Amino acid sequence: MAGPRVEVDGSIMEGGGQILRVSTALSCLLGLPLRVQKIRAGRSTPGLRPQHLSGLEMIRDFCDGQLEGAEIGSTEIMFTPEKIKGGVHTADTKTAGSVCLLMQVSMPCALFAACPSELRLKGGTNAEMAPQIDYTAMVFKPIVEKFGFTFNCDIKMRGYYPKGGGEVIIRMSPVKQLNPINLTDRGSVTKIYGRAFVAGVLPFKVAKDMAAAAVRCIRKEIRDLYVNIQPVQEPKDQAFGNGNGIIIIAETSTGCLFAGSSLGKRGVNADKVGIEAAEMLLANLRHGGAVDEYLQDQLIIFMALASGISRIKTGPITLHTQTAIHFAEQLAKAKFTVKKSEDEEDASKDTYIIECQGIGMTNPNL
């Protein structure tokens, strides 16, 4: 089973946790023994952090693999995968480390397992520098399911920075193969909706202020649509700690979804949080792509594994996306091309088509 070890330099391009997630997921799926060196070498705290470690341990358990060098602060790991199995797997960052990032590493593996999987992910559900769980449920899920699988996302407990304490349960069944996707026709925006939340000791007025400020900001640019942002007080038994934030989604006539989101921090007024999310959404709508900047890189691994040619139209290519493409090509031998969109209406915009000839991975267990 095991061939020569694939060497990955963890300090290039994005240079962080994403390299680890993409390369270990592909290593697990393809049965490639892996060595990752210089992990997060350029970061202020180099090496593995708790959330990276819990993700690695989860992947190891997923395929009964061997993992060496897996401890906090380690800058080199060796991973030797075996056969992927389904069943119940738990990962706990014991911090506000993002459950959504744990999901990114484990979901592709669960698709090619021998039986259904239940992933119990613990940590931060609404954390900085990562997708919020609402984004995962409202944007990522409906789009990624176009590859031909479904998953269930049950938010048991929300957890915020700095304590974490959230828990999400993902349930999914394996597939024989993934279908390619084509997300190039953006259509026109038909509705805008969202949720502004407060949890713990924060007053409900904060949620109302975030929502109102976001609506005012969007109205300046998009006048003819009703913008429905619900202020929400998270129930005490479903939220651990204190937090506030907002996510706003725009839906188009062709089923494309875009988001803008922001999290409150101590000393930042509510209006500012609402406006930041609104401006992020508007920026994602201006570039003419059919996916927003956060979905871009999350689709790459699925495009690489699918059978046939996938195409997505995007705004400017992010560093995370370039990184995901690089490792999908290096490890999975998928073929990607990125070129500027040639459509007339995109001529003045920074719009690109990412095309991938997937490797047509098939599940040996089904």
* CATH number, domain with residue 84: 3.65.10.20
Cβ atoms of residues 225 and 192 within 8 Å: yes
Angle (deg, nearest 10), helices 99-111 and 293-305:
20
Handedness of CA 113, 296, 24, 165 (dihedral sign): negative
Last residue of a domain, one of 241, 269, 285: 285
Q: Within a domain: residue 97? A: yes
Residue 322 annotated as binding site? no
Q: What CATH number should be reported for the domain holding residue 212? A: 3.30.360.20
Tell me: do 152 and 71 sit in the same domain: yes
Give the pairing of strands 257-263 and 151-159.
Answer: unpaired
Domain that holds residue 226: 189-285
* Sequence letter at residue 230: Q
Helix (H, G, I), strand (E, B) or coil at 215: helix
CB contact at 8 A, 143 and 291:
yes
Whether residue 33 is contained in a domain is answered as yes
Decide which of 245, 264, 285 is a domain's last residue: 285
Annotated binding residue at 92? no
Same domain, 105 and 127: yes
Nearest to 33 by CA among 102, 85, 82, 71: 82
Flag whether 295 is marked binding. Answer: yes
* DSSP class per residue in 76-89: -EEEE------EEE
Please check whether residue 366 lies inside any domain of the structure: no
Q: Are residues 129 and 260 in the same domain?
A: no
Residue 128 and residue 110 in one domain: yes
Question: Nearest CA to 65 among 73, 54, 55, 57?
Answer: 57
Q: State the catalytic residues.
A: 320
* 72 and 179 both lie in a single domain: yes
271 and 338 share a domain? no
Residue 255 CA to residue 65 CA, distance in Å, equals 39
pTM of the model: 0.97
**Residue 104 marked as a ligand binder:** yes
Same domain assignment for residues 33 and 175: yes
Domain shared by 14 and 96, yes or no: yes
Residue-by-residue pLDDT tens, the chain, 366 positions: 556 899 999 999 999 999 999 999 999 999 999 999 999 999 999 999 999 999 999 999 999 999 999 999 999 999 999 999 999 999 999 999 999 999 999 999 999 999 999 999 999 999 988 999 999 999 999 999 999 999 999 999 999 999 999 999 999 999 999 999 999 999 999 999 999 999 999 999 999 999 999 999 999 999 999 999 999 999 999 999 999 999 999 999 999 999 999 999 999 999 999 999 999 999 999 999 999 999 999 999 999 999 999 999 999 999 999 999 999 999 999 999 999 999 988 888 899 999 999 999 999 989
| Of 243, 260, 285, the domain-final residue | 285
Consult the annotation and say whether 297 binds a ligand. yes
| Total domains, the chain | 2
